[in-house]
Amino acid sequence: MERVLIVDDDTEAAQMLTNLSVLAPPNTPAEFQSCHDNLAQDGRFGYLVGCSEPMQRVYQQISRVAATSVTVFIGGESGTGKELVAQTVHDLSRRREQAFLAVNCGAISPQLMESEIFGHEKGSFTGADRQHQGLFERAHGGTLFLDEVTEMPMELQVKLLRVLETGSFMRVGSSVARSTDVRIIAATNRDPLAAVQAGALREDLLYRLNVFPIALPPLRARPQDIALLSAHFLSDIGEREGALRQLTPSALQRLEAYRWPGNVRELRNVLQRAYIMAEDALITEEWLPTDAPETEAGVNRKNGPGDALNFQLGSSLADVEQQLILWTLSRFDNHKERTAAALGVSLKTLYNKLKSYQKATAIPSPSPLPLHPEQSSM
């Protein structure tokens, strides 16, 4: 299907597309070459769309590191495309024919995580009625993506460190060391040093993971990519729904001026909603977000009056966390992506927390045209 590119020939984005050949290193293997060709043709690199300078730097890093086996540590705010970077690294590596397995350390219970990652022997705990191969075994020869690695329990971080250092691990309930050849790609949307200081991430693990860091820029730092990304998402949605719709020039300007606290994921959801609300093939500004004054206050919320929460000394951590989450949610008008971005957690983690509060707390229903949680994560 034809792609609708909302890029004029003389725009900055079009200029960037013509300058891209500088990126391709000489004598690259076929996959790299086709990746660089795609970038020059339609602003895509692997699974990633965008050809702004900050993204070109990311592509350069991906190109270099993919050919090696070193551990990659991807940082960046929620919704910036960390999982897509991980998949692109895998697809450009010599492991591309083998498995790419992903685990979200924030989304599975600490009790299950060890067996999920390392596997278990039959009878090693109540309910372990058969032997189970963990991700390290199943990803042998391929890539294991550890998303939200700062959410991994400390004792498992020790075990992960051991695998990274020795290349071997033990299933739960076994004393047999098994060797594994797995490339690790880890990601977090938290500041890793702050996570170390907060006691969520072991310092030695951070340094072991951080062999090759890739920092994904937030969308507000690369407004040049918004035209291409919007065209990409609208083309996808249009194909799915059977009718193409595109942005008017002023609608595109509005998107480029917005701060995007939920990054590319928020852009995709905004376009989905605007597509549904549009009355004809043109999407106008009407259903697009603006940075309202209260959002600006949200950015500086540490200083604003009425923007502080007080807690009694002796409050439980769980209680403080719940109050902070619910308060932030109401402060952001129930906007879950912004709430997750402000709290520095993934949308999935936020949904899990809210689900666990639902029994005790009535949570107001989300904004108009709510999207299913699955549509909001990958």
Ligand X SMILES: Nc1ncnc2c1ncn2[C@@H]1O[C@H](COP(=O)(O)OP(=O)(O)OP(=O)(O)O)[C@@H](O)[C@H]1O
Q: Which residues bind ligand X (CB under 6 A)?
A: 48-50, 76, 78-84, 147, 189, 229, 264-265, 268, 346-347, 378
Contacts of 37 (CB under 8 A, 6+ apart): none
- In the block, which residue shows the tokens 């949307």? 189
Site string for Mg ion, 140-179 (x = CB under 5 A): -------x--------------------------------
Minimum separation from the CB atom of position 189 to ligand X (A): 4
Total residues belonging to the chain: 378
Angle in degrees, CA 175, 181, 182, rounded to 5: 105
- Which one, 83 or 337, has the nearer CB to Mg ion? 83
Distance in angstroms (rounded) separating the CA atoms of residues 124 and 141: 27
- Which one, 172 or 219, has the nearer CB to ligand X? 219
Check binding of 83 to Mg ion (CB under 5 A): yes
Minimum separation from the CB atom of position 349 to Mg ion (A): 10
Minimum separation from the CB atom of position 147 to Mg ion (A): 5
Lookup: tokens for 228? 């291409």
Minimum separation from the CB atom of position 206 to ligand X (A): 17
Which helix (H) or strand (E) is 168 found in, with range? Answer: strand 168-169
- Which one, 339 or 346, has the nearer CB to ligand X? 346
Say if residues 185 and 87 touch (Cβ distance below 8 Å).
no
- Which one, 121 or 147, has the nearer CB to ligand X? 147
- Which one, 50 or 142, has the nearer CB to ligand X? 50
Q: What are phi and psi of 279, to 5 degrees?
A: -90, -20
Q: What is the chain's percent helix, strand, coil content, to nearest 5?
A: 50, 10, 40
Minimum separation from the CB atom of position 329 to ligand X (A): 16
Binding region for Mg ion (CB under 5 A): 82-83, 147
